Structure 1
Amino acid sequence: MTVPDAQKNDANQTQKLRRALNTPLLTLYGLGVTVGAGIYVLVGTTAAEAGAHAPVAFVIAAIVVAFTAFSYAELSTRYPVSAGEAAYVEAGFRSGSMATFVGLAVALSGMVSAAAVAIGAASYLQGLIAAPHWALTIAVVVLMSVIALWGITQSVIVAAIITLIEISGLIFVAVWGFGMSEPLGVDLVEMLPPLVGPHWIGIGAASLLAFFAFVGFEDMANVAEEVKDPVSTMPKAIVLTLVIATLLYLATTTAVLVAVPLDKLAASTAPLSLVFEMAPKSIQQSFSVIAIVATVNGVLIQMIMASRVLYGLADRGHLFPALAIVSKRTQTPAIATLLVMCIIVLLTLALPIEKLAEHTSQIVLLIFILVNAALIRLKWQGGDGADHFRVPIVVPVLGVLTSVLLFATSWL
């Protein structure tokens, strides 16, 4: 039996995980993990690199993500299973060891990202709760692990509610920045960069940070085994997530640059709150609560993703069988979730948020390169008559090229 055939048979077997996610829930899940710490915490750092051209960095990151997003849309309907990227690479390269490497890299990216988000959440919480930062960080991770163990439907519904809150927060920032706040920043015309010049080095570096804000849509592939109708639902949810996130990021970043002086924005670790500095105290406090909710949500969803990847790898014999144990009561991978919780706690105590964000982007870009290459190989091999979403071969080719170029900027 070939590897692709084996993967298809796996997808057709009786599911151990509950198929409960439809298009709205899956889209909200994708937005929940995409929209969060990246935009709430790293806009200032992006502005420090790209200056007034920070919105362009988000556009470049969105373009890089778009090609790979469509590759994921096809692959997730070919192989709607947990540990999706590992299944894609195993099918494309016919290598179990490469699949295990990619699966572990995906899980690691989720855990590193969750650690970065947990640190940001604890920083916001310190403004409301007088407690040590490390204690608040651990409390956030433990609480989110309890919710993740609760059940996939309950977890995603909780995440979806929080997602609606954090999206409302970004819309609030955009409306206040454009309509209520005094314009102390840069003009819209200044945000358009000249076609040539040294400023593109800064924009390239900022694009890698902006890319972190888009990390998340690929996590949707790792809950495909819990989607009711993957062939119809996965492509729609992936595209909707990317489009909505891009529009939110551009509106938010532009509004903040218009409202806040550039030097002040570049030095801030809580950049969006600067828009409300002259607002009433109640408005400032309300937004602080939204920012806490937004960052906490990222921990939950990354934890769900990482645990499903470890479960999927163990279920296919690539990791310890214990990680494939599913709770009879909640139908969630209990052992995998607890392991993910422990690793995230260790990461939060070992590395600062900037390093965690940078390493997350590098790991995810490496995964994107391998996943796009796997789809290219699958299309070259041909012979697939299955009913699934399809993209032209130029899409994964461009996915490889754009991911390689952005990955290279991290070493400049």
Structure 2
Amino acid sequence: MTPPVPPAAPHGLARRLGPLDATAIGLGSILGAGVFAVFAPAAATAGAGLLVALVLAGFVAYCNATASAQLAAVYPASGGTYVFGREVLGPWWGFAAGWGFVVGKTASCAAMALTFAAYVAPGWERPVALAAVAVLTVVNCFGITRTAALTKVLLVVVLVVLLTAAAVSLPAAAPINWSNWAITGPLGVLQAAGLLFFAFAGYARIATLGEEVRDPAKTIPRAIMAALAGAILVYLLLGVTLLLVLGPDRLAASTTPLADLVTAAGHPGVAPVVRVGAAAASLGALLALITGIGRTTMAMARNRDLPPFLAAVAARHGVPLRAEIAVGVLVCGLVLVGDLREVIGFSSFGVLVYYAVANASAFRQPAAQRRWPRPLNLVGLTACLVLVATLPTVSQLVGLAVFAVGLLGRLALTARATGS
């Protein structure tokens, strides 16, 4: 039988988020700065195979989303796959998932902050990025309902900008020159799918907030699937428009593909609007990322996988205040050395490992807890591992090194606790 959903404990987090709030946080997390940056490196890797890679990345995201939704309905606690892995597979698997999420998404936070600053204050990226992280960390410290409200505002701005860019650009689509629409081959498409997955990895934020969602058994699965479906539709529209207007080669060479898109379509006056959208998307993604990392950090601290003092929840606003501040401080440090394009591969590495554990956990769930067929979890697990194996070599090496540090650190802490 499916375990009953417990109410929030007195020392836990309050369930304040409804279906619309949860969906908005998920979609706002997905439609982050990645959509404004990741199409170019993906096109450079896959050429005209960009759309194939996009569909593949979307399918892997769907497999992962079903696993996350099925698990979150049964274990609606802060921490997402960190909790799922511990409950179903064991503490070490849970730690691997939590560590991958925290380190990968902390790097992504720095990238989102720098992207925001690059669009609104060229030449002053780092100080403006630091200010953005500080402000959003303060917003998160005042409660999850304020986070959801701001996320919905930013989401509306981003959707309007993205749909406007596509609408004004599609009429300028040029006839396809098939000689320039070469697909680089299976490896290039797989590598592009791994990079594009960076732009999908946001719906997990709903699962990490499981302790704050009302009626989580129903709300979380619906919100996850609604957010993912909306994102896939928007990405396909943008991918088709970018290829038809810019072409694979020009898209691959672009550093600001959506701004170049509207300019090439004969609407340079819309480019500043795109910049506003990129800034809003970056802020929305950064806000949701800080929230999700803070909750996962709190969950890991509860189990002493991270320093226990990070598990404290502030009574007044019902947030893990120390974890939120710690994440904000760490992101500020990474802003000083981070770069968006360098962290995309590493972020994908960490998040794909996170979802590999989610699929393995969902595969082990009994029939009474299942909402989707078990083979889908096996496909999702295999796909995550394949995409990890085809990421750029530097991303793989950095990812393996960071995971080794985390696992060895936990081994040392476990040995010390056992010895004492």
- The one-letter code of the counterpart of 1:146 is V
Q: What are the superposed Cα offsets for residues 141-164 of structure 1, whole Å, 9 maximum, x if unpaired?
A: 112111111210011110111011
Aligned AA for 1:405? V
Equivalent residue, structure 1, for 2:413: none
| Partner SS, residue 52 of structure 1 | coil
Give the equivalent residue in structure 1 for 2:357: 370
* Number of the residue aligned with 1:211: 197
Deviation at 1:191, TM superposition (A): 9.8
- The residue identity in structure 2 corresponding to 1:352 is D
Shift, 1:377, TM fit: 2.5
Alignment correspondent of 1:183: 173
Q: Kindly indicate whether residue 131 of structure 2 is the aligned counterpart of residue 139 of structure 1.
A: yes
**C-alpha spacing 1:217/1:9, structure 2 compared with 1 (3 Å):** closer
Deviation at 1:19, TM superposition (A): 0.9
State the Cα deviation string for residues 99-140 of structure 1 (Å, max 9, x = none): 23322222222211111211211111225xxx5221122112
Alpha-carbon RMSD: 2.5
CA distance in structure 1 between the partners assigned to 2:51 and 2:177 by the alignment: 10
Structure 1 match to 2:23 = 27
Q: Is 2:295 the partner of 1:308? A: yes
CA distance in 1, matches of 2:303, 2:6: 9
Who is 2:399 aligned against?
A: none
Distance 1:25 1:36, change over 3 A: same
Q: Pick from 103, 107, 113 the counterpart of residue 118 of structure 1.
A: 113
* Equivalent in 368, 372, 396 of residue 377 of structure 2: 396
2:148 matches 1:153: no
Partner Cα separation in structure 1 for residue 365 and residue 247 of structure 2: 50
Per-residue deviation, residues 262-314 of structure 1 (Å, max 9, x unmatched): 43321222110012216555422222112111112111110000001111222
Q: Distance in 2 between matches of 1:243 and 1:188?
A: 31
**Partners of 2:83 and 2:299 within 8 A in 1:** no
Alignment of 1:164-183 (within 5 A): 164-179=156-171, 182-183=172-173
Aligned-residue identity in percent: 26
| 2:348 aligned partner, one-letter code | S
1:270 aligns to 2:262 (yes or no)? no
2:311 to 299, 306, 324: 324
CA distance in 1, matches of 2:212, 2:179: 46
Structure 2: distance between partners of 1:168 and 1:235: 26
* Residue aligning to 1:231: 217
Equivalent-residue separation in structure 1 for 2:95 and 2:185 (angstroms): 40
Q: Is the 8 A contact 2:19 2:223 kept in 1?
A: yes
The Cα shift of 1:171 comes to 0.9
Using the size of structure 1 for normalisation, the TM-score is 0.88
Measured in 1, the distance between the counterparts of 2:225 and 2:376 equals: 14
**Aligned with residue 50 of structure 1, among 19, 30, 46:** 46
Q: Secondary structure at the match of 2:292?
A: helix
* Number of aligned positions between the proteins: 392
1:353 match? 340
Deviates more, 1:300-309 or 1:251-260: 251-260
* Inter-partner Cα distance in structure 1 for 2:133 and 2:92: 31
Does structure 2 conserve the Cα–Cα contact (< 8 Å) formed by 1:224 and 1:234? yes
Structure 2: distance between partners of 1:87 and 1:291 = 33
Gaps of 5+ in 2: 394-420
Match of 1:73 among 69, 74, 77: 69
- 2:58 aligns to what SS in structure 1? helix
Equivalent-residue separation in structure 2 for 1:258 and 1:339 (angstroms): 44
Within 2, Cα distance between the matches of 1:27 and 1:135?
A: 32
State whether residues 19 and 226 of structure 1, in contact with CA within 8 Å, keep that contact through their aligned partners in structure 2. Answer: yes
Looking at structure 2, the residues matched to 322 and 11 of structure 1 have their Cα atoms a distance apart, in angstroms, of 23
Q: CA deviation at 1:376?
A: 2.1
Structure 1 residues not aligned, in runs of 5+: none
In structure 1, give the amino acid aligned to 2:16. Answer: A
> 1:169/1:79 Cα in 2 relative to 1: closer, same or farther (>3 Å)?
same
